[in-house]
Structure 1
Amino acid sequence: MRFAPILALATQAVTTLAAVKGFNYGATFSDGTIKKQNNFEDEFNSAKNLVGNSFTSARLYTMIQGDTNGVIEAIPAAINTQTSLLLGLWTSAGADTVNSEVQHLVDAVNQYGTAFTDLVIGISVGSEDVYRTTELGIASNVGPGVLPNTLVDYIGQVRSAISGTALNGKPVGHVDTYNTWTNTTYTAELTAAVDFIGVDAYPYYESTKANSIDNAARIFWEDFNEVVAVDQGKPVWVTETGWPVQGPTMNQAVANVANAERYFQELGCDLWTGGINTWWFTLQDDQPVVPAGNVVFGVTGPGLPPPTTPRYDLSCPA
């Protein structure tokens, strides 16, 4: 059964035929090796050429290339493969890191010009930082976060830095969990400060709900529409969602290939046909081999470059 995003589409301005379709991409492999330009190019090309569907956008988490302290090499890889970008600036490591992230953002404009800026869909200032300051985030021991008012300051810093550059006017937003955005007494100021709201939502992890695959798409839309209800007129983008092909059972949620395919078919296809910018999690889990027992979300299996034959059917109804 498919669960249509009735409220979301009724209350959001969408571009039905132009929704961004992409994946999330980390800056390192699982062993800590830092990805180089050729690694990003391999990933972006594999995503574009997947059997059944083509993914032409990349969401990043940082602007910094860790081994050189230069601009992340995903940028020239995106230019060479014509992959659009949702840029990310890491903010949970403190003000000095944010200053460096912002400087690298400006450096990227100066280094690559409009060949880079024309590919930018938006700029996310942080990722799940506010969640990490909440009671649930602290209990989950997920590391340091950033308070909403500090993120508002960082967003202002980014706007100032790109003013007068070719990035001026690009949407500046923030990514966080759906239940962080709906905590309006905590995040209303942040919602007012952004141009877009990035939502991370995983029914697989919602173990306090009846979260079997039969209910997964419905749970997602309920989560998403709760954010839309408090979005202050800002567009809501799906920055992370997916279903694992391997991992522990979370309440009623079973991780396997069949359920990952069903989740994609019942949710992913509706997101894009509904005009909602979405970056799926994920093209491929960190390489070279994901240890047994880990939660594995990869649409493709192991291999460098990532294979273009996915684990399950990615085609969407016409």
Structure 2
Amino acid sequence: MHILPLALLGTATAQAIRGFNSGGIGPKGPKSQQDFEAEFNKIKNLPGTAPFTSIRLFTMIQHDTASDPTVAIPAAISTNTHLLLGLWASAGQDAFNNELDALKKAITQYGEKFTSLIDAISCGSEDLYRITPTGIANKAGIGASPDTLVQYIQQLRDAIKDTPASGAKITHVDTWTAWVNESNFAVTKAVDWLGMDAYPYYEQEHENTIENAGRLFFEAYNKTVAVSQGKAVKVTETGWPVAGPQFGQAVASVENAKRYWDAVACPLLGDIDTWWFTLDDAKGDPNEISFSTIKSDLGDPLFDLGCPGK
């Protein structure tokens, strides 16, 4: 039987969300509504595990449009799939205005059929991490300052005020290292709960073997809880790659992905709101990193998703 770490025991919920991350670009290119529908149906019927019912999105905007709502929304409505919405916040005010515009268009177009499926809305994704020395060294891209994110969070709250989405919880998703940085505590104050990303695979400054991965993850979670100002901490990204380069002492393999699932997913799922990374990000180059949980073309799981005793 899996035993939850003490910090998790204090925040576990009876009906915890079980979800996956999903980008707008799939292994074969931009996703259509039909692609999203197939993906959303897949997560509810994975063998060996209880149904997953929520998808985390990174942007409100459909690929190759200025501010059209993502077709993941009608796909979610048709499959009754819940959504952790995401607004990209690292491209400047004009781009964020487009994200807000797409959200407002979706609320107007789909109404309560859409808003009733919203688990929460995230203002940004790892924006704080990308402006750290580590993010810059890893060429993670353009980020956003805490002051900017606080302004965006208020703009988001204003945008959904007096709409069917007015009751939606607002969060921000970032790495655990960003959340424990005191210079970012204004963002913690501005959100309703914290979305934490943690990948022991990348923590090469520690002894990041697969044997230590579970310990590293839950230490990160507990450190985030300790500075969360009493707000819930939810797991918005974690996983272990099935393929890719060695990173520090971390080895990417299907076997290690299964060991990480047992050590981290099994204690989390059903007890803490979790969006796993990821369902399918298979790449054409087998040497490129992949965090897929299933075989390509929405195939069978790459490893046993069961959690014995839970």
Q: TM-score, normalised by structure 1?
A: 0.93
Aligned to 1:294: 288
Aligned 8 A contact 2:173 2:196 in 1: yes
Is the deviation greater in 117-126 or in 66-75? Answer: 66-75
SS at match of 2:19: strand
Aligned to 2:261: 264
How well do the aligned residues superpose, as a CA RMSD in angstroms? 1.4
Out of 148, 151, 155, the position equivalent to 2:153 is 155
Structure 2 Cα separation of the partners of residues 3 and 240 of structure 1: 21
Aligned 8 A contact 2:54 2:84 in 1: yes
User: Aligned pair 1:44/2:37, yes or no?
Assistant: no
SS at match of 2:140: coil
Out of 217, 220, 244, the position equivalent to 1:220 is 217
Aligned to 2:303: 312
Deviations 1:37-75 (A, max 9, x none): 001011111111111122111000000112344110000
Letter in 2 for 1:250: F
Structure 2 Cα separation of the partners of residues 284 and 152 of structure 1: 32
Q: How does 1:234-245 map to 2 (within 5 A)?
A: 234-245=231-242
**Displacement over 6 Å in runs of 4+:** none
Letter in 1 for 2:220: D
Aligned to 2:87: 89
What is the CA-CA distance between 1:174 and the residue it aligns to? 0.3
Deviations 1:259-291 (A, max 9, x none): 111111121111123x211000110015xx531
What is the CA-CA distance between 1:3 and the residue it aligns to? 6.2
Letter in 1 for 2:4: A
Q: Unmatched 5+ residue regions in structure 2? A: none
Aligned to 1:9: 9
Structure 2 Cα separation of the partners of residues 127 and 68 of structure 1: 20
Structure 1 Cα separation of the partners of residues 232 and 287 of structure 2: 37
Q: Unmatched 5+ residue regions in structure 1? A: none
Is the deviation greater in 106-115 or in 133-142? Answer: 133-142
Aligned 8 A contact 2:235 2:273 in 1: yes
Percent identity over the alignment?
A: 50
Structure 1 Cα separation of the partners of residues 7 and 45 of structure 2: 33
Q: TM-score, normalised by structure 2?
A: 0.95
Aligned 8 A contact 1:3 1:221 in 2: no
* CA pair 136-243 structure 1, distance change in 2 beyond 3 A: same
Aligned 8 A contact 2:2 2:266 in 1: no
Aligned to 1:181: 179
